[in-house]
Amino acid sequence: MTMETTNSCPGRSGLSPEAPQGARARQPAYQLIAGQLLAAIDKGMIGPGSVLLESPIAAYFSVSRAPVRQALAMLEAAGRIARAEGRGLVVPGGRRRVFHPDEAALGPADLVRGPEAQEGRALYYRFERDLILHATQGRFRVNEFALGRSLNIGRQGARDLLMLAERNGIIERGDRNMWRVVRLDAARFDNLYELRKLLEPHAIAACAGHVDPAILDAMLARLDVAPADPDPEILDRLERDLHVDLIESTPNPEIFEGLRRTRSILVAGKHVQRALGRNPDAFTDEHRQILLALRDGDGRAAAGAMLSHLELSRLKAIERLAAYQPRLAADGVDWLRPDG
C-alpha cells in the first residue's frame, strides 16, 4: 500500500480544478488538493492576502504534509501564490492573514480521503500505538525491512510511516540511518512539558488579535459537539486545533519548530489511556477557556489558561505512565528490537 505520493510536481498543465469525477478518482492526492485550492482561489473563497500553511490544509484533508507541499508548489509554479515573508505562501494582494480551510468550502474532502487514505490512517494509528507503548519501557531499534513485511506495505510504505513518526517526535534517525524509538519515561515527560510550558503560553499570547474569529468559532464548535469518549481521529483533531494549528499562527516560526520536538507527549496520552482501559481525560473545558480568551483578544488570559492546562496535563501524564503495566510479551512486534 502506498502511504503518499512522492512524484515530483508538474507544471501549470497539472492544475485542473474542474476535472471530471472519474478523472479525479485517478488523480494522486496532491493534484486533487491543488485543484480544490485553485478553485477556491478562483471563486474568491481564498482571497488576496491569504497565507496558506501546510498543517491546517493537511489536517482538513487528513493527509500528511508532503502532498500538501506538492500541491502548493504546483500553485506557486502556476503563479497563483508566492512565497510569504517568514513562512507559508500567499495569494498576491490584500492584507496578510493566515487562511484556515474551515473558512471556505474547499470541496468534498472525501475526494482525497478515499478508502486507501482511511486504511493508511488506521494503519498509522496501530503503528504509532506500538511505538508509544514500547517507548514507555525503554529504547528500541526499528527494523525497516521487517516493518514493511509485517504490515504488508513494502519498503516505501514503511519509510512513509517512519518519517511521519519522526515528525511527531516518536522516533529519531541515528547513525547509518538506523531508526530508534525515543524512550518516554517520567524524566522525559517532565523535560518535554517544561519546554512546552516555556514556549506555548508565549506563543498563544502572541496569536491574540491575529487569528480570524471564524477559525476560533469553528474550533469552539468542534469542542461543543465532541462526544465524551471521542474516537482517535476526533481526539487528534481537537488537540491539533489548539497545540498545532493555532501555534503555527504565532509570528515567531522558531517557537513552532521548537515545539515540534514535544509532539510525542501530545500523542502518547491517547494510547496509554486506551491501554489502561480508560476513557480520554476531560480537557474540552480547558481548551474552551483558552479559545474564548483568544476570541476576546486577551493574550494574557489565554497564556495563563494555557499554562494551567499544560500543568494539569503533565500531572495526568505522569500518573498514567506510573499506572501503565504493559504486557509486551503478548503484544510484542517483530520489527522492534531492544537498543542496548
Which helix (H) or strand (E) is 157 found in, with range? helix 154-167
Closest CA to 284 of 309, 315, 260: 309
On whether residue 44 sits in a domain, the answer given is yes
Question: What pLDDT score was predicted for residue 200?
Answer: 96
Q: Which residues are within 8 A (CB) of 125 and not within 5 positions of it... i.e. 6 or more apart?
A: 232
Residues 299 and 218: their CA atoms lie apart, in Å, by: 19
Give CA separation, 179 vs 163, 280, 306, in Å.
Answer: 10, 30, 33
Residue 31 predicted with pLDDT over 90: no
Q: Domain ends where: 96, 111, 126?
A: 111
Residues 109 and 233: their CA atoms lie apart, in Å, by: 15
On whether residue 4 sits in a domain, the answer given is no
Higher pLDDT, 218 or 204: 204
Residues 159 and 288: their CA atoms lie apart, in Å, by: 37
On whether residue 7 sits in a domain, the answer given is no
130 and 157 share one domain: yes
Q: Which residues of 156-165 are buried (b: 16+ CB within 10 A; e: fewer)?
A: ebbbbbbbbb
What radius of gyration do the chain's Cα atoms show?
Answer: 20
Q: What is the CATH number of the domain that holds 193?
A: 1.20.120.530
The answer to whether the Cα torsion of 312, 314, 318, 321 is positive or negative is positive
289 and 199 share one domain: yes
60 and 156 share one domain: no
On whether residue 2 sits in a domain, the answer given is no
On whether residue 36 sits in a domain, the answer given is yes
Residues 153 and 2: their CA atoms lie apart, in Å, by: 7
Residues 72 and 320: their CA atoms lie apart, in Å, by: 40
Q: Which residues of 244-259 are buried (b: 16+ CB within 10 A; e: fewer)?
A: bbbbbbbeeeebbebb
Residues 61 and 110: their CA atoms lie apart, in Å, by: 8
Q: What is the pLDDT of residues 81-130, one digit of tens each?
A: 999 877 789 999 877 888 877 655 565 555 555 545 556 677 888 999 99
144 and 218 share one domain: no
Question: Into how many domains does the chain fold?
Answer: 3
69 and 17 share one domain: yes
Question: What pLDDT score was predicted for residue 7?
Answer: 34
On whether residue 6 sits in a domain, the answer given is no
Sheet containing 97-98, strands listed edge to edge, beginning at the edge strand earlier in sequence: 82-83, 89-90, 50-52, 97-98
Q: What is the pLDDT of residues 269-314, one digit of tens each?
A: 889 988 888 888 889 999 999 999 999 999 999 999 999 999 999 9
Q: Which domain holds residue 290?
A: 186-323
210 and 263 share one domain: yes
Residue 40 predicted with pLDDT over 50: yes
Q: What's the pTM?
A: 0.70
Question: What pLDDT score was predicted for residue 293?
Answer: 96
CB distance 4 to 67 below 8 Å: yes
Q: Give the number of other CB atoms < 10 A from CB of residue 24.
A: 18
128 and 193 share one domain: no
214 and 150 share one domain: no
Instruction: Tally helices (H) and strands (E) across the chain.
Output: 15, 8
The answer to whether the Cα torsion of 99, 104, 107, 111 is positive or negative is positive
42 and 155 share one domain: no
